[in-house]
C-alpha cells in the first residue's frame, strides 16, 4: 500500500494502467487544448453552429472529447467501460447526460432511461449508485417559479403533479432495488425547489438507509448552514441523509446573473473559502456518519487527503460503506486509481447519451476545466510523466 501524499498520487503506472498509448496521446492533446480559454470558447460556438446546420462533425467529436469524458451513446456502449473500471475496483455512476430538453417526451425518455439504469444496477455491484438532474424530468421554468414561491397556474400545477409522479416512480424503484440515487445540484435560482423535493424523497425512502442523496455545491456560502439544518431535521424526524459534496459547476453563470440582476452573489468571493467550507462539510458528515452517507466529489488532492486524514482521526475504515470518493470519468485518474488500490470506495461519474444531445454537457465540461488552470497543468504533467515512463520502459526492453 502506498504511503504519503506524493507516492499515492504520483503513481502514474497505476493511474493510467487502463490507457493505451493512443489514449494517452488523445488525453494530452485535449488537456493542452482545454488550457486555452479563448480557444475553448471559440470551439464551443463553432461546435454548436456545426450541429445546428447539420455539418458532419459527429465522428470527430465522438473520437475526441466525447471518448475522453463519456462512456458511450447508450447503456450497452458503456458496459465495456464499466467492466474495465471494475477490474481496478472502481465503481461507475451512470449518468444519462442529455441536457436542455423541455418537452414531455424528453421528460418521459429521461424517466425511462433512469429506470433502465436502476434495473441494470440492481444486479451489478460495479454500478453502486445512479444519478438524476431534476431538470431532466421537470421543466426548469416551473422549478424557477417554485423557487420564488410564485403562484402557479392550474396547468403548471398539473405539470408539477406529473413531474412529482415521475420523481416518485424513480425513487420508489431505487428503494425497491436498493440502488441509491444522487440528485445533482443545479443553478441557485432553482436549487431551493430541488432541495425541497430531495428532502421529501429522503423522508419517504431513507427510513432504513440513504437511498436518496442530494448534492451540495460548496462554492455557495450558505451550504454549510443548510447542511447543519438538514442534519438536525434528519435526527428529529428519524431519516437518513445522503450528501454528495462538490465545489460547484456554474460559477461564471451565477456571478454574472447576480451582477446583472443586482443581488448578492451566492458564490464565495474566493476559492480559499470554498475549500474551507468543503473540508468543514467533510468533517461534519463524518462526525454524523451514523445517519449520513457521504460522497466526496472532488478532483482536489488536498481535500482528498483531508478526507483520508479525517477517516483515520475518527477511526473510520477506508472502505466504510457510508464513505465514497468520486471523480468524473476522463479526469483525475491519478486520484481515482491510486485510492482504489489503497482500499477506498471509489466511483467514476460516467456520462452517456447520443453525441449531439450530450454536446451541452461536453461544452460545460471543457469550460469548467479551462477555469481550473492548476488542475489542467497537473493532469498534463502526469500524462507526460506516464508517456515518458512507458518510453523509457520500452528502451530498457
> What is the phi/psi pair of residue 136, to 5°?
-80, -15
When pLDDT is averaged across residues 124-142 and rounded to a whole number, the result is 95
- CATH fold of 73-352 reads TIM Barrel (3.20.20)
Structure confidence at residue 5 as a pLDDT band (50, 70, 90): very low
Over residues 344-370, mean pLDDT: 80
Cell numbers given for 143:
422549478
| This prediction's pTM | 0.90
Q: Which comes out higher in pLDDT, residue 397 or 59?
A: 59
pLDDT digits (tens, 9 = 90+) for 309-343: 999 999 999 999 999 999 999 889 999 999 999 99
Which pLDDT value is given to residue 6?
Answer: 46
Contacts of 162 (CB under 8 A, 6+ apart): none
CA torsion sign, 221 to 167 to 368 to 276? positive
Provide, rounded to the nearest whole percent, the portion of the chain with pLDDT above 90.
Answer: 65
pLDDT grade for 171, boundaries at 50, 70 and 90: very high
Q: Is the pLDDT of residue 9 over 90?
A: no
Q: Which comes out higher in pLDDT, residue 189 or 66?
A: 189
DSSP letter (8 states) at residue 64:
I
Give me the chain's average pLDDT, please: 89
- Domain ranges in the chain with CATH number 3.20.20.220: 73-352
Confidence of residue 163 (pLDDT cuts 50, 70, 90): very high
pLDDT score of 394: 82
Out of 12-21, 103-112, 143-152, which region has the weakest mean confidence (pLDDT)?
A: 12-21
How confident is the model at residue 137, as a pLDDT? 96
For the range 300-309, what are the long-range contacts, defined as Cβ-Cβ under 8 Å and sequence gap of 24 or more? 300/247, 300/275, 300/375, 301/5, 301/9, 301/335, 301/378, 302/275, 303/275, 303/278, 303/279, 304/335, 304/339, 305/5, 306/279, 306/282, 307/282, 308/344
| 249 vs 107, residue with greater confidence | 107
Query: What is the distance between the alpha carbons of residues 193 and 148, in angstroms, rounded to a whole number?
Result: 9
Amino acid at each position: 500500500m502506498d504511503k504519503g501524499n506524493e507516492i499515492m498520487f504520483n503513481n502514474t503506472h497505476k493511474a493510467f494502467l487502463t490507457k493505451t498509448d493512443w489514449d494517452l496521446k488523445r488525453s494530452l492533446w485535449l488537456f493542452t487544448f482545454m488550457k486555452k480559454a479563448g480557444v475553448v470558447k471559440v470551439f464551443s460556438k463553432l461546435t454548436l453552429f456545426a450541429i445546428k446546420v447539420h455539418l458532419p462533425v459527429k465522428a470527430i467529436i465522438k473520437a475526441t472529447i466525447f471518448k475522453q469524458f463519456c462512456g458511450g451513446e447508450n447503456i450497452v456502449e458503456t458496459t465495456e467501460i464499466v467492466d474495465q473500471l471494475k477490474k481496478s475496483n472502481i465503481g461507475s455512476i451512470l449518468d444519462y447526460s442529455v441536457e436542455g430538453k423541455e418537452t414531455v417526451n424528453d421528460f418521459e425518455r429521461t424517466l425511462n432511461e433512469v429506470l433502465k439504469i436502476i434495473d441494470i444496477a440492481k444486479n451489478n455491484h460495479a454500478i453502486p449508485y445512479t444519478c438524476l438532474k431534476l431538470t431532466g424530468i421537470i421543466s426548469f421554468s416551473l422549478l424557477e417559479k417554485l423557487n420564488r414561491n410564485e403562484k402557479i397556474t392550474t396547468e403548471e400545477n398539473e405539470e408539477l403533479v406529473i413531474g412529482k409522479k415521475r420523481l416518485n416512480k424513480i425513487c420508489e424503484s431505487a428503494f425497491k432495488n436498493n440502488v441509491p440515487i444522487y440528485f445533482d445540484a443545479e443553478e441557485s435560482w432553482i436549487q431551493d425547489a430541488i432541495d425541497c423535493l430531495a428532502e421529501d424523497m429522503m423522508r419517504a425512502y431513507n427510513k432504513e438507509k440513504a437511498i436518496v442523496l442530494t448534492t451540495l455545491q460548496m462554492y455557495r456560502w450558505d451550504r454549510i448552514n443548510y447542511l447543519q439544518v438538514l442534519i438536525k431535521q434528519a435526527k428529529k424526524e428519524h431519516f437518513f441523509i445522503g450528501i454528495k459534496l462538490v465545489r460547484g459547476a456554474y460559477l461564471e453563470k451565477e456571478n454574472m446573473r447576480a451582477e446583472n440582476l443586482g443581488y448578492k452573489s451566492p458564490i464565495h468571493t474566493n476559492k480559499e473559502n470554498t475549500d474551507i467550507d468543503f473540508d468543514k462539510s467533510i468533517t461534519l458528515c463524518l462526525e454524523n456518519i451514523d445517519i449520513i452517507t457521504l460522497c466526496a466529489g472532488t478532483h482536489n488532492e488536498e481535500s482528498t487527503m483531508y478526507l483520508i486524514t479525517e477517516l483515520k482521526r475518527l477511526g473510520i475504515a477506508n472502505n466504510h460503506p457510508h464513505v465514497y470518493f468520486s471523480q468524473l470519468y476522463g479526469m483525475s485518474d491519478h486520484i481515482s486509481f491510486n485510492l482504489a488500490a489503497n482500499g477506498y470506495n471509489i466511483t467514476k461519474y460516467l456520462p452517456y447519451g447520443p453525441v449531439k444531445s450530450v454536446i451541452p454537457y461536453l461544452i460545460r465540461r471543457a469550460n469548467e476545466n479551462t477555469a481550473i488552470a492548476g488542475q489542467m497543468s497537473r493532469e498534463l504533467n502526469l500524462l507526460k510523466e506516464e508517456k515518458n515512463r512507458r518510453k523509457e520502459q520500452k528502451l530498457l526492453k
